Structure formats: C-alpha cells, structure tokens
Amino acid sequence: MTNIPQTGQLAPDFTTPDQNDKPVSLADFSEWIVLYFYPKDDTPGCTTEAKDFTDLSPQFTALGAKIIGVSPDSGKAHCKFIDKHQLSITLLSDPEHQLIEAYGAWRLKKFMGKEYMGVARSTFLISPDKTIAYAWPNVKTKGHALAVLTKLQELAAV
C-alpha cells in the first residue's frame, strides 16, 4: 500500500508550491536536498523539528544542502509558521497529498485508539544526482535534524 522510496532509487519527481505559492520542482536543485514530511504547522513536534533544521541550516548550507519541509498546510499557514518561529527553511504546500503520497508519507496512523490517514513524519536525503541517499521512514523529532546532518556529513565526504 505504501511505497516508500529506498536508498539508491531515483527520487520521485515533484512540482509543488512553496510558502509564497512559487512552484518548486526537484529538477530546480543541483545540490543535496533534505526533504522532510511533517503533519501540521505550529504543533509541538513539527515546531521542534522545523526550529532544529533552521538552527542547523548553516551547517547544511556549508555542505551544499537545501532543507525543504512538506505538509498539507496552505502557503498562508506556512508563512505564519515561518514568521512566528523565524524559520529559514523552505516549506512546500501539498493539500492534495500528491508529493506526500509519492514519498510514502501518507499512511495509516493511530491516536487514542482511533485509526486515520495522515502524514507520517519522515525524511529523505536526496543526492545531487536525484537518488535517495538515505531514508528515515519513521522519525522521532528529538535529535533528528542532527542525525540527518551527521548522515549528510558522512555521505558528502565520500
């Protein structure tokens, strides 16, 4: 049911609007991409993750990487989220879940005994040749941005 891209596979292509409603495509990038999926702007876990990626963004940039977050939220909601927390990362809006589904992040979830479909927190490190260099299909926010940076440092040094 869920098709999560694996290490070595070509990254699923996309064109999706960013927080300013400007189309962003995988083809626009020639550098490393940290593509992370999260459920909702301005919720505790999602805020922690976005702030951690923002705090580490200079190190990611130094390694030639661009950080891109994706959620079903609107561009307007993304702008509020960015302004409220002084985020320096790009956020893509995917209300129809096309990009989210392409990366296998739209999954069955459970909360308080109820099952529902939603965004499973997950991250993909995409190499400059557009292949999946590493995938984290089930992310816990604490320490995740640092784990991604560490993996990027390891892979970019090769």
Residues known to be catalytic: 46
Q: Which helix (H) or strand (E) holds 23?
A: strand 23-25
Q: How far apart are the first and last CA of the chain?
A: 34
Burial class (CB within 10 angstroms; exposed 0-12, middle 13-18, buried 19+) of 38:
buried
Retrieve residue 68's tokens: 């891109």
